[in-house]
A and B are shown apart, each in its own frame.
Chain A
Amino acid sequence: MATPVIETVNTNLKLTTGKSQLHILKDVNLRVNAGEVTAVVGPSGSGKTSLLMVLAGLEKATSGKVSVAGKDITNLDEDQLAVFRRETLSIVFQSFHLIPSMTAIENVALALEIAERNMSFREIREASTAALAEVGLADRLNHLPNALSGGEQQRVGLARAMVTNPKLLLADEPTGNLDQDTGAKVIDMMFRLARDKHTAILLITHDRALARQADRRLTMQHGHLTEEAEVVPA
């Protein structure tokens, strides 16, 4: 059996705020295979984003096991997690999070620079140009983020995420700041690219229509993750 891209076993996340402790993730067991598109839906505050953060190594699970692409990340330190991230996964954010002082192509190239793939400057430039062309921004290479629309910024974010050919793409409400049409286009691109590169996607969304486009749908409720039994029409 192929190694799953994501595997969590009884994973818990507890956060202490002030004097109280919040139990965010409760015995989460999750398995996602390579190339699979999985959507996680749930109400606000249910723990969806926290799950994504644990999988990305941005939060450490309090207990349980977390493996991504066959690597147990449960006990890695900050720098080891950083290296793990650049070798294994990418993230698309709701708020795009482009570097404001860098152009579109520089933002995409940054991912390759940080990944340290032993590529020359020219090779990085070419790969970044190709990535932006794939998302329809070949004519926006030298634009700063503040000169791009929301949809264009998210496409740059997507190009940046895919240029490193990750095994796993984590998307946190990728259409949350976009209008419906733009969001739909971005999602189409994301799914297409992921399928072309056999990248698994874990998509956090509250949009059930969007979730329906995924191969699998999971529901997060009060920290518990369950397979969605049926999809309720919007």
Chain B
Amino acid sequence: MSRLGNWISVALLDLKGDLRRFGVLLACLALGTCTIAAVGSVGAALQDAIVRDATKLMGGDIEVSRSDRRASPDERSFLETLGPVAEEDDSNGRAINGDNTAFLDIVGVDNDYPLVGSVDSPQLPNGQKPGDLLALKDGAWGALVNPIVLDRLGIQVGGTFMIGKTQYQARGTLTSLPDGAARGFHLGLTTLISVDALAATPEARPPMPGMLTQYRYKIVLKDMKADDAIAAYAAGAKSVADKFKDPAWVTRNPKDAAGDLAHYYDVFTEFLLIVGLSALLVGGVGVSNAVSAYVTERQRSIATMRSLGATSSRILVHFLVQLGILSMIGIVIGIAIGAVTTALALPLLGRILAVDLPPAIYPLALAEALGFGLLIAFGFSYLPIVRAQKLRPALLFRSVGGAMERLSWREATKPQAILPVLVTAVLVYLLALFTTNNLALVNWYTVGVIGAFLLLRLAGVLLQLVLRLIPPLPSSQIRNALKAVYRPGSPAPVVILSLGLGLAMLLLIVLTDNNTRSQLQGEVARDAPTYLATDLFPDEVDQLSQTAKTDPAFAKFVPVPSFSGNVVSLNGVPVDQIKNVGEEGSFMLGGATNKPVPITWAGDLPPESKVIDGKWWGPDYNGPPLISLRASTAASLNLKVGDKVVFDLYNQNITATLANTRDFQWQSGMNFLVTFSPHALDGLPGSFMGGVYAKPGQSVAVGRRISQDLPDVTFLPIGDALAQAADILDQLSTAVDVVGGLAVINGLLVLAGTMAAGRAQREADAVINKVLGATRGDVIRAFVLEYSILGAFAAVIAAVLGVIGAWAITVYALQVGYSVDVGLILIVIVVTVVLTIATGAITTWGALSTKPAQYLRTE
């Protein structure tokens, strides 16, 4: 047998015995890799679905659209030369049945819709197209409605409702559209009608023309070749561009539509993967503890082998082989569970996301989980094994307690000790980068993790130092509890690290989730209007103002002047010569199709606004036109206070000076990109945007009143939109909570493992204390005190880390307001301390209860 073969065979021989002691190591690795395998598989399934079903998601091979009108008959004829065409128009409208109303997301389709896929409705069996069901019959147009519409309007299938003066009949319920996932977020409850019905319903119009409308023409190219789809898409797009010179026409292919959706899912699964990686990193601490405990337990055997002449290399290979095999078992278990549960859950997830996700196994995702698992297992095992290597066989001749000599800093930082660990860390970083393809996320995460590890490790050392310096306290119990924290071999540093990491992750997720929800449902809900109306005429403003004063259901009505215009030049430079502006700047300049931007004027500084640079003009200002821009918009356009901006409003050029930049949150009331000073827009044909605020519990009553008083006005139900966003957030945060929860479970496992590893020492301590006269109650009280100190300390450090992490994510990544919920943090800290004590008690109860005679007889 070769030398290495000999070393390996002895290592395997030595692995016999009770493998239950490796339970925590196996569980930590299994849980961590299971999480990554599951998240990676879901991400891969989503991307697969998007690529595979891109054409179905978009509804055709190419989509030609514009936002201001339908195609003319000539234009439609040209599109039909490319292949079969189906029309799909987006709009909004208010459905009314007596006193009941519902705000609708209207999808108007022609008889050829859908060209690809089918509409999912109980009333359309076997993939039947909806054209017949939506046709005009007995004076009513047909509609397939979101089931909630029936509830809102108080009707059943077959019941009728009005949109303006046009009658509709709800001929069925709508489960999903084949291109629903790619449509994204739309205001209102989705309702399918025919394009002819939409054309016959002038009251069905979007609240913000040009912003929420789209007239889409989906085409299945007759010259499509499956093996050269890209070329076919490009040819189709070129034909359209050559024919339609008007830049208002926009052409997309399935990759563009899929790209948006893919990006959305990518961002979400990247974040989940990072949370999953956190679960594995916390598990890594458990691996390190388990390996340390194993090496400590085997120290006499190691010394015996050294005394027989085993070299340090042999000891290294011996333990690497053993722990390699055990790690692989844990990792394979985790991957298997992750793969199977994901495969089973995919169809259910697909139904939620309106994407077809058949059960499948994704080898690349599993390979990535395997890679992470192996790297973490090696990285966290290596230094404890180096400790085994350094063990001096002389200890065979000396009595040692349960503890083993720690690796000194000098030894730990020697190249042969530290280099493999550093290389492993770099490989984990690179694998995370490869998996997420998001450099910023991985970099910030790396900084966060290293910072957390260092802070927690340092905190443990500092705690021990500080406690050592405290003069002896009067109470012997407290004195001994503090001593137990800083004595050699104390598990304090490990408990603080493992508990702190898991808890910091939990707090980060809980605080971020809490903040985002409170923003959507709390602060924003309080400041946001219940209904928003656009294009109000002055008499409608007067009517609403009066109603708000007299109707007790109304809290207030806030009208804001509303204009639209285009930017012509910035500091004399025409807009078409301005390049390299950021996203906000590009929007303000009108984008590719020169869309007008919403503009207003104001005398008083709008509420929740803060002037960043320059000066606000005041309500009495009556001078040359000034403007105020959002600070980030101005920065995006490289504009500063004093710069000149020329606007074209209703064919009139107005030159304005940038007087100030402001900071405000979009959620805090009605804000415009551009705000003019008073009198600058006098005489221009603008309108009003109005925010209607209902008193608590009165939103339905207010909705009824405004739709009865002003049936021609479209009121956007902001509350409904917030509820919709909150629903989506609920689904997303459930996934994040589940994955984050696994990190916490791993943290508790690590804690249990640490406690179990220290059991022998605890048993010896308990026996000696009892022999000296301590009661069982004394022993237990001392234990509770020691672990309360550790748990509380770890919880405080974790709270600091969690609060900072949640602040960074909330403010910079999610861009919403941040507030600290002290009560929530305190609850988490208290629960943590209780859990720490409980976990310790469960794992060491036997040791605390050991009868001295029984222990001394067997020792």
Closest chain B residue to A90, Cβ basis = B308
User: Contacts A83-B309, A121-B1 given: A100-B301 contact, CB under 8 Å?
Assistant: yes
Residues of B within 8 A of A79 (CB): 311-313
- B-side interface mostly: helix
Q: Contact at B309–A101, with CB atoms within 8 Å?
A: no
Do B397 and A101 touch (CB < 8 A)? Answer: no
CB-based nearest A residue for B312: A79
* CB of B465 within 8 Å of the partner chain: no
Is B397 touching A85 in the complex (CB atoms < 8 A)?
no
Do the beta carbons of A82 and B306 come within 8 Å of each other? Answer: yes
Residues of B within 8 Å of A227, CB to CB, are none
Asked whether A91 is an interface residue with its Cβ less than 8 Å from the other chain, the reply is yes
Report how far A101 CA is from B300 CA in the complex, Å. 12
Contact of B309 among A53, A82, A121 (CB under 8 A): A82
Number of A-B contacts (CB under 8 A): 78
Contact A87 B10 (CB under 8 A): no
Cross-chain contact B311 with A82 (CB below 8 angstroms): yes
Contact A85 B308 (CB under 8 A): yes
Residue of A nearest to B306 (CB): A82
Determine if B311 and A99 form an interchain contact, defined as CB atoms under 8 angstroms apart: no
Instruction: Write out the residue numbers on chain A whose beta carbons fall within 8 Å of the beta carbon of B310.
Output: 82, 86, 114
B314 interface hit (Cβ, 8 Å): yes
Q: Are B301 and A114 neighbours in the complex by a CB distance under 8 Å?
A: no
Q: By CB atoms of chain B within 10 A, which of A49, A83, A102 has the most?
A: A102
Stretch at the interface among A105-113, A181-189, A190-198, A205-213: A105-113
Whether A97 touches B300, Cβ cut-off 8 Å, given contacts A58-B393, A106-B13, is: yes
**CB proximity to B under 8 Å, residues A36-70:** 49, 52-53, 56, 58-59
Q: How far is the CA of A100 from the CA of B310 in the complex (A)?
A: 17
Which partner residue on chain A sits nearest B16 by CB separation?
A101
Q: Chain A, 74-106, contact with B by CB distance < 8 Å: what is the 0/1 string?
A: 000011001111110011010101111110001
* A116 beta carbon closer than 8 Å to chain B: yes
A95 to B397, CA, bound (A): 9
Closest approach, in angstroms, between the C-beta of A97 and any C-beta of chain B?
Answer: 5
**CB distance A58 to B307 under 8 Å?**
yes
Tell yes or no: B304 within 8 A of A by CB. yes
A213 CB to nearest chain B CB (Å): 23
B830 within 8 A of A: no
Question: Which listed residue (A100, A102, A172) contacts B397, Cβ 8 A?
Answer: A172
Mark each residue of chain B from 291 to 324: 1 if its CB lies under 8 Å from any CB of chain A, else 0.
0000000001101111111111110000000000
CB distance from A142 to the nearest CB of B (A): 12
Q: In this assembly, does B479 line the interface, its C-beta being within 8 Å of a C-beta of chain A?
A: no
Cβ-defined contact, A99 with B304, below 8 A: yes
Give bound CA distance, A130 to B3, whole Å.
24
Which chain A positions have C-beta within 8 A of B260? none
Contact with A along B142-186 (1 / 0, CB 8 A): 000000000000000000000000000000000000000000000
Is there contact, CB below 8 Å, between B394 and A87? no
Chain B residue numbers with a CB within 8 Å of A100 are 17, 301
Nearest Cβ distance between residue A226 and chain B, in whole angstroms? Answer: 23
How many A residues touch the partner, as a band? 35 or more
In the bound complex, CA of A113 to CA of B2 (Å): 11
A141 beta carbon closer than 8 Å to chain B? no
Question: Nearest Cβ in chain B — how far from A81, in angstroms?
Answer: 9
CB pair A101 B312 closer than 8 Å: no
| Cα separation A91 to B6 with both chains bound (whole Å) | 22
Known contacts A101-B16, A113-B6; A59/B394 CB under 8 A: yes
Q: Quick one: CB contact mask for A101-139 with B, threshold 8 Å, 1 for yes?
A: 110001000110111100011000000000000000000
Shortest C-beta distance, A170 to chain B (Å), equals 10
A83-B311 in contact (CB<8A): yes
The smallest C-beta distance from B316 to any residue of chain A, in angstroms, reads 11
Which A residues are in CB contact (< 8 Å) with B551?
A: none
- B312 to A93, Cβ gap below 8 A? no
CA distance A121 to B6 in the complex (A): 9
**Distance, CA A86 to CA B305, complexed state (A):** 10
Cβ B17 vs Cβ A101 within 8 A: yes
Chain B hits for A121, CB < 8 A: 1
Given known pairs A99-B301, A114-B314, the reply for A56 and B10 (CB within 8 Å) is no
In the complex the two chains form, what is the Cα distance from A156 to B303 in whole Å? Answer: 17
Out of A58, A78, A87, A111, which one reaches B312, CB within 8 Å?
A78
Q: Which of A85, A87, A101, A120 contacts B307 (CB 8 A)?
A: A85
Among B17, B312, B393, residue most surrounded by chain A Cβ atoms (within 10 Å): B393
- Tell me the residues in window 1-54 of chain B with beta carbons closer than 8 Å to chain A beta carbons: 1, 3, 6, 9-10, 13-17
The closest CB in chain B to the CB of A52 belongs to: B397
Shortest distance in angstroms between A111's beta carbon and chain B's nearest beta carbon?
5
Q: Is the Cβ of A116 less than 8 Å from the Cβ of B392?
A: no
Assess whether B14 is in contact with A101, with CB atoms less than 8 Å apart.
yes
Q: Which of A98, A100, A120, A160 is most buried by chain B, counting CB atoms within 10 A of its CB?
A: A100
Cβ-defined contact, B309 with A86, below 8 A: yes
Q: Residues 387-416 of chain B: 1 if any A CB is under 8 Å from the residue's CB, otherwise 0?
A: 000001110110000000000000000000
Give the docked Cα–Cα distance between A40 and B17 (Å). Answer: 39
A residues in contact with B16, CB < 8 Å = 101-102
Interface residues of B in 180-218 (CB under 8 A from A): none
Contact with A along B539-554 (1 / 0, CB 8 A): 0000000000000000
Is B308 a contact of A116 with CB atoms below 8 Å?
no
Contacts of B308 in A (CB 8 A): 85-86, 90, 110-111, 114-115, 160
A97 to B301, CA, bound (A): 7
Contacts A83-B311, A85-B309, A114-B314 given: A97-B1 contact, CB under 8 Å?
no
A83-B309, A113-B6 known; A49 vs B397 contact (CB < 8 Å): yes
B3: which A residues are within 8 A, CB to CB?
116
> Considering the chains assembled together, what is the distance between the CA atoms of A111 and B311 in angstroms?
13
- CA distance in complex: A84, B309 (Å): 7
Of the residues B1, B305, B393, B396, contact of A114 by C-beta under 8 Å:
B305
Q: Report whether B10 and A110 are in contact in the complex, using a CB–CB cutoff of 8 Å.
A: yes
Please, what's the 1-or-0 string for A164-188, where 1 marks a CB less than 8 Å from any CB in chain B? 0000000010000000000000000
Bound together, the chains give a CA A79 to CA B303 distance in angstroms of 13
Q: Which residues of A have CB within 8 Å of B15?
A: 101
* Interchain CB contact under 8 A, B397 and A53: yes
* Contact between chains at B304 and A56 (CB < 8 Å): no
Query: Which B residues touch A110, using CB under 8 A?
Result: 10, 305, 308
Closest Cβ of chain A to B577, distance in Å, is 74
Q: How far is the CB of B414 from chain A (nearest CB, A)?
A: 14
Which chain A positions have C-beta within 8 A of B6? 113, 116
B14 and A58 form a contact (CB under 8 A) = no
Question: How far does the Cβ of A179 sit from chain B's closest Cβ, in whole Å?
Answer: 18
Cα–Cα distance between A91 and B300 once the two chains are bound (Å): 14
The answer to whether A99 and B394 have CB atoms under 8 Å apart is no
Q: A100-B17, A106-B13 are in contact. List 5 more A-B contacts (CB 8 A).
A: A58-B307, A58-B393, A83-B309, A91-B307, A111-B308
Question: 10 nearest interchain CB pairs?
Answer: A86-B309, A101-B17, A85-B309, A79-B311, A97-B304, A58-B394, A114-B308, A82-B311, A99-B301, A82-B309
Cross-chain pairs A/B with CB under 8 angstroms, 26 sampled: A56-B307, A58-B307, A58-B394, A82-B306, A82-B310, A82-B311, A84-B309, A85-B308, A86-B308, A91-B307, A93-B397, A97-B300, A97-B303, A97-B304, A97-B396, A98-B304, A100-B17, A101-B14, A101-B17, A102-B16, A110-B10, A110-B305, A113-B6, A114-B309, A116-B3, A160-B308
